[in-house]
Every structure is written in structure tokens, then in C-alpha cells.
Amino acid sequence: MHRFLRFAQAGMVLGLSVLALHAAHAQKPIQIVADLTDAPRRLFHADVDLPVASGPVTLITPQWIPGEHMPAGPVASIVGVRFTANGQTLPWRRDDVNLYEFHLTIPKGVTTLHAHLDSIVTSRISQKLAVLEWERLLLYPAGTPVRDIPIQPSLKVPAGWGVGTALTPVSSGSWPVPAQGAVTRFAVTNVEQLQDSPVITGQYFHEFPLAPEISPRHYIDVVSDEPEDSNLRPSVLAAMSNLVREASALYGSHHYHVYHFLLTLSDVAGGEGLEHGQSSDNGVGEKGFADSAHELREAALLSHEFTHSWNGKYRRPVGLYQPDFATPQQGALLWVYEGMTEYLGDVLAARAGFETPAQYRDRLAETAANLDYTPGRDWRSTEDTAVAASVLRGYSPWFNWRRGQDYYEEGELLWLDADTLIRKLTQNKKSLDDFEKIFLGKGGNTSPLIVTYDFNELVQDLNAVVPYDWAAFLHDRIDQINPRADLAGIEQGGYKLVYQDKPNATERTLAAIPGRYFAGPSCWLSIGLRLGHDGTISDVRWNGPADKARLAPGEKIIAVDGQIYSADALRRAIRAAKGGTDPIHLIVQADSFVSTAEIDYHDGERFPVLERVDGTPDYLDDITRPLTTPEKAPAEETKASK
């Protein structure tokens, strides 16, 4: 909690933040020059000039990165640290407890401390592109709120590489492709905003303006490993412009001066989706937007991260906002921060045309079925997945019994439930859209700003849309143990979740794209296994048929019903056992041992789909209907640079 916010509770802090801004501008800014010319060698460099007074000083680098929900600051990769003043090298010592802190003593008469550092970069980087997250290079005085520390960034990139960022360049010269050897200076900002303003740069760069009639301006900046990929297809750009229009219509406010979608297309630089107030860092594979099937897989990425500019960046749960990147963040309300964003991102993806209403429903069916078949919900509440968020990222054996950061998908079902309930209670005259305008639009249009909220404010704003016992509604679904997923939203929306013996159309399209996380056959809802492409077991559904046969994650299926393992052989065996009594016979390898297992399962293959319930209101269709007139295939795309 920001020290100002502590007094303001969950209320508005507009006046106070203006005061903070004045205080910031009274000081001399830190100067930081980020040199990315060594990016292809996985190195960034920085020269930092800090205004100082003589005596002991403690400098610090970020630990709790906003949006990561964990203490993931890359201090271990910061190397080559050297402090100098008036040409003399100054000794330093790391803090024994807080490893993000550097202590040193400034000699008499010194007013500027120079720091040089290098950063070893192992993610979001390739031979042709790089993403600069400023925490890789930041050093600033400890103990001061980061929004009160003024800083002026400058940037140098490899010759010919273009630059995408929400930072405002102040130096003249070519932009967004700086001249060879040029250092681009940006306007003075503060450490909080600089950390929130990443830069992408790359040899194959395009910047496209979006929805030109909308103010403030929106752009998508794209870098790729292959020259053709960053030149996005006209249909993608049309959907992006639709996304900007739909978000404007849905939220009715904005909290940025400009917005840049930053997108990397690379099989090397890794996947990413990280929100910022005036931009988002999005990373997908090289061909992530090259055709409609890939585009469907990434359908909700950009709409999710864009939504965070309102929900997460502007409106922030009180425990998730800390003034200094050093105090641990508290995740209890992540089912709003992430869960509601998951819901809104999917709704916006459908409204913008990244997916059809039928595809939206198919993906919703997958989400609902997976949550309904997550046995860990028998002991762990959705709220606990949020409170424990910082230790739940990543996969583990018995993942379904442990649970992951399920507040994303649980939130999707929860907010769909709330949306359809509002529609039901108001005869479809009001919806969650009305709530978003209140909750995300407080204060109208603003500069980039963080305004915190608590549980009570959520309840208050929901009641302003339609009176209901919203506190009980939320507590029941979030804090309680709920062995079944919340399917009420689907049912109030006019559909029911059913299982059929073949994958739905969307799942079939997605399954055809290489590089899926679980590459093996989909048999989670039947025998209860997640499999890799070679029959290696990633997870076993707790208390499911494979669990009862004593199978375990890490084992590998070698043979099925007398045949060498293949995805087809396993699916055939599941189908053959349907309605009978003979078990499915497996030969399984565990470490260097081989054994047999028999799965006693006779219900055939099972895949989720939503089925329309005739005679009920079709709110799901209302929810995915665009609020604005969609832009169809444009005649030509606009290119702002080469």
C-alpha cells in the first residue's frame, strides 16, 4: 500500500498523486542510458548518473515486479557493477539480508554518482529482436516511493533496429527507427512509470496506427525473427482496430496518454503477456499471427493485456500495490485483477472478431470442463490460489491436485456468472458492462495512475448496477471450498456443458497447430491422463481411472492393448473399452523399470461442448455481440515505417 493510499483507504487519490508528481519534479532526475547494441550477444549495458549527497547511500533494484505477482526481479543477472565519482572507483557491499540492495559511502563534495552495469539477458531476446524491461538495469535510492523518484531514460539500439515503446522521445532525429549510433532521449518520468514502460526493438519492425478516429492514439509495434512476420495481415490489423473501439465502448474511459501494443514474433524469444499502463508486452511464436488457426490460439492475448490497463494497472487491489517494488505484494484479490481480466479479454476477443461466438463458446466449454475436473478444488479454495499466487506459477507433477493459479479461469466463470445474473435480474437491461464503466472509469479519463480498491468497493459498485447480496455471492464462490466449478453463468447464459465423443470444432482447429503444451491425445476427461507426444505422462487426474490404476506423472506408456504406444492406439483402446467390461491394458515404463497397468474405464472418449437450451434467454450471444460497427477486411494496411 502506498503511504498516501493508506489514509485514503480504497478511495481516490487523484489530488495526492498530483502532489507527489510536483515533489518528483523538484528533484534532479536520475539519468539512465540503456545500451542494447549488444542484444544479439544476450547483453544489455547501462550507465546511470544518480544525484547524491555525501555519506552512506543505499541503492536498490526492483524485486516485486508488478504484474508478475512474484519476487522475480532479475538481480542475479545484473553484473559488472562499478560505481565511480569524480573519476574514482567507490567500493560497495551488497546487503546481507536484502540481496537487491547495494550499500556505499559517497565522499564529501560529490553530487553525482555514476554507476555502470551489465545485464545478462536470457529471455525475450533473439538475434533479431529484444525486449527491454527496465528492471534489468534500474538502480535508485532505497526507501523512497518509486513514483517520487524522477528519472530520464535514454536508449541506444543496434543499427537499423526499430523501437516500440510508450515512452515519449524528446531528441530529434529519425523515429521510430533511430539513426545509426544515435542515442534517443525520452521525457523525464519517474521510476514507477519507467518500470511500467518497456521497449521492444528489432531489425524487422513495423508500427501500425489503430482505429485512427479514437483518441488518445493507439499503435501496435511488431518485431519478428523473420522479415515477413512483423508485417501483420490486414485482417489482424482490422481486428486490432476493432479491439480498440470495443474496449473504448465497453470501458468508457482511458487512463493513458497513448497506448502501444508491443508484439514479438519469435520461436526463440519466448512467450509473454505482461500488462502495463500505456503498453503491453506480448510475445508469441514466429507464426503466431500468420494464419487464422494460429490467430485463434492467440485470440485473447492482446485483449487480455489491453484490459489490464484499466483492470490491474489503473484499478489495483490494495494489497497488490506497493510503493517501492521491495515490499511483498498480496494476491488475495487476483480473482478480480486477473480473473475479471480473463473474462473481459475473452469477451473483447469475440466482440473484436478474433474469434466467432461459436469459438468463444467452445473455448469456454474447455475452461469449464477443465475446472470441473480439477480435484484440487476439494481442498483448496479459489481465494487460496490467489493468496499463494507467487508460489503457484509453473507446472508440477500432480498439478491437478496441487492446483495452479486457477484464479484466472475461476474468475472467468465467476464474472460470467455475475454478468448473466445482472442480465437476469434486470431483464437484460443492464450487464457487467455497466459495472465496468463505474468500477474502471472512476475519475473519468486520467493520466497513468494507480487507484486501489478493496472487496467492499467491488460490492458497492455491483450494488450500484443492481441491488443483490453481492458480498455473499462473491464469498460463496471465492472463499469457500467448491468441489464443482461455477457453471451457473453458462446456464443463465442459455447453454449447458455437455460431453460428446469427439472434440469440438475449435479444439480440432487448435489441435492441428504444432507446439501445444500437452501434445498427446486429449484423455483428461476420460481416463484422466495428460500426455506428451511420446506417451510420457504429465499429470494423472486425482481419483480418476488412471489414478486408480496406480499410474504416476513422469511414467511413460510403452504399449496399449498389445500395440506399441501411439496417440491413435490409445484413443482406439478407449473407444474399444466403451460399454464393455475388459480394462484397457498398458505397459508402462517408470525410470528403468517396466510394469503393466489396467485401466477400468468404459465411458469412451469425452470432449466438452456447450449445448443450447431452447426456450431460455441466449445471454451468451448478447455478451459476444460487438458494441461498435466492426471493421471488415480493409483494402490496404497502413505502414508507419519500414
Query: Which residues contact Zn ion (rule: CB under 5 A)?
Result: 338, 341
- Beta-ladder partners of 164: 200
Spell out the residues 6+ positions from residue 621 whose beta carbon is closer than 8 angstroms to its own.
357, 494
Residue 52 has a CB neighbour count (10 Å cut-off) of 17
Beta carbon of residue 565, minimum distance to Zn ion (angstroms, whole number): 37
Name the residue nearer to Zn ion (CB basis): 225 or 338. Answer: 338
Distance of CA 330 to the CA centre of its chain: 17
Beta carbon of residue 523, minimum distance to Zn ion (angstroms, whole number): 29
Residue 367 is given by DSSP the state: H
Name the residue nearer to Zn ion (CB basis): 74 or 411. Answer: 411
Name the residue nearer to Zn ion (CB basis): 201 or 341. Answer: 341
Name the residue nearer to Zn ion (CB basis): 322 or 341. Answer: 341
Q: Supply the DSSP string of 587-609, one letter for each residue.
A: EEEETTEEEEEEE---S---EEE
Helix and strand numbers (H, E) in the chain are 20, 30
| β strands within 354-489, DSSP E | 451-453
Beta carbon of residue 281, minimum distance to Zn ion (angstroms, whole number): 12
Name the residue nearer to Zn ion (CB basis): 338 or 539. Answer: 338
- Give the amino acid at 509: T
CB-count burial class (<10 Å; 0-12, 13-18, 19+) for 160: middle
Name the residue nearer to Zn ion (CB basis): 152 or 197. Answer: 197
Beta carbon of residue 312, minimum distance to Zn ion (angstroms, whole number): 7
Residues in the chain: 642
Beta carbon of residue 341, minimum distance to Zn ion (angstroms, whole number): 5
Name the residue nearer to Zn ion (CB basis): 148 or 275. Answer: 275
Question: What does the alpha-carbon distance between residue 513 and residue 535 come to, in Å, rounded to a whole number?
Answer: 19
Beta carbon of residue 68, minimum distance to Zn ion (angstroms, whole number): 10
Beta carbon of residue 307, minimum distance to Zn ion (angstroms, whole number): 8
Residue 526 is given by DSSP the state: T
Spell out the residues 6+ positions from residue 484 whose beta carbon is closer than 8 angstroms to its own.
372, 377
Name the residue nearer to Zn ion (CB basis): 135 or 338. Answer: 338
Question: What does the alpha-carbon distance between residue 529 and residue 546 come to, in Å, rounded to a whole number?
Answer: 7
Question: What does the alpha-carbon distance between residue 153 and residue 146 come to, in Å, rounded to a whole number?
Answer: 15
Name the residue nearer to Zn ion (CB basis): 281 or 631. Answer: 281
Beta carbon of residue 338, minimum distance to Zn ion (angstroms, whole number): 5
Where would I find the H helices in 514-593? 545-548, 567-576
Look at strands 184-185 and 101-106 and give their pairing: unpaired
Beta carbon of residue 263, minimum distance to Zn ion (angstroms, whole number): 16
